[in-house]
Amino acid sequence: MLPEIAKLGHIALITPDFKKSLWFFSEVLGLEVTEVVDGTHYLRAWGDFEHHTMSLKQGEKSKVDHIGWRTKRPEDVEKYAELLAEAGADVKWIEAGQEAGQGRAIRFKLPSEHPFEIYYEMEKTQPDQDRKSVLKNQTYKAWRKGASPRRIDHVNLATSQNPAVIHKWLIDNLGFKMREYIDLGNAGVMAGWLSVTPLVHDIAVVSEPNAETPNRLHHLAYWFDNAQDILRAADILSEEGLKFVGPGKHGASQAIYLYVKDPGSGHRVKLFSNGYLIFEPDWEPIRWTVEDLDVGMTYWGQDAVAGNQDSTEA
């Protein structure tokens, strides 16, 4: 049996202004701190069950330390280590406990040099009593602070390489399925949205031809239950004097969006809602062309492309 990725687990961020980043993610966005170990803060949203879906650490410059993916079975980690090594990846083992709450894992890089981690074992740490929800199927109290997203949703990677090559690598080596993509004809594929779950995308890879490095983070996204939550988040961001792009709606994915940057690191965060789910086993990827690119990227609202040109290192 081939190994399988179950879902996006977490993203580990490095920030040059830790105090400002922690304020943004914890107080403004509203993520809860699960644990602090050796200066690294581990956070999650009120509906996230695992120990963390984000970690924050002080560093000289903004970058992504790694993006973590959970497998469907414990033995899948070892199987991926073997298959990825055969595919030419430099696979390194991370021992249990090296990352707080997490069991043994592997780390490697995509051909675009984006750093990935694959794991299975992760604690489902219970919150302290004053933050714990009375609902047995929910981790924290909802709306306790900040914009208050429910859960992590996806990551969007940018690269100066041909994104179609990275799409194929993700499909061939990690089992992702292409859901939607932008085909510019002779100019090649501009972007692709892929998933291993019923989500329209757990990951996207987009072209950024003039990027300083091939491994860029365009954004990470947290999920909100509905469009009204996004409007509420816009009020909260405006009260704090933070500029943002949106709200608007994508044609591709049909998602309601708002983009804002962490003022401490410059990492872009997408506040994400609506969209659709895919359950069809014979799904045919949706192809967007240059003729319908405007609708695909911005169905309505503030232009999602014009305000989101730059990225941070991954």
Convert the pLDDT of each residue in 153-179 to its tens digit.
Answer: 999 999 999 999 999 999 999 999 999
What is residue 123's predicted lDDT score, i.e. its pLDDT? 96
- Cα gap 168→203, rounded to integer Å: 13
**Distance, CA of 133 to CA of 123 (rounded, Å):** 18
d(CA 43, CA 52): 5
Query: Is CATH 3.30.800.10 correct for 5-119?
Result: no
Question: Do the beta carbons of residue 304 and residue 293 sit within 8 Å?
Answer: no
**pTM (two decimals):** 0.96
Helix (H) or strand (E) holding 173: helix 163-174
CB neighbourhood size of 285 (10 A): 14
Domain ranges in the chain with CATH number 3.10.180.10: 5-119, 151-306
DSSP label at residue 230? H
Strand residue runs (E) in the chain: 5-15, 32-37, 40-44, 54-58, 63-71, 92-94, 105-109, 115-119, 151-159, 177-183, 189-195, 203-207, 216-223, 244-249, 255-261, 268-274, 286-289, 300-301, 312-313
Pairing of strands 203-207, 189-195: antiparallel
Give per-residue pLDDT as tens, 281-310: 999 999 999 999 899 999 999 888 876 777
- 58 pairs with which residues across the strands? 15
Query: At the fourth CATH level, which superfamily is domain 151-306?
Result: 2,3-Dihydroxybiphenyl 1,2-Dioxygenase, domain 1 (3.10.180.10)
Per-residue pLDDT tens digits of the chain, which is 314 residues long: 899 999 999 999 999 999 999 999 999 999 999 999 999 999 999 999 999 999 999 999 999 999 999 999 999 999 999 999 999 999 999 999 999 999 999 999 999 999 999 999 999 999 999 999 999 999 999 999 999 999 999 999 999 999 999 999 999 999 999 999 999 998 899 999 999 999 999 999 999 998 888 999 999 999 999 999 999 999 999 999 999 999 999 999 999 999 999 999 999 999 999 999 999 999 999 999 999 989 999 999 988 887 677 778 77
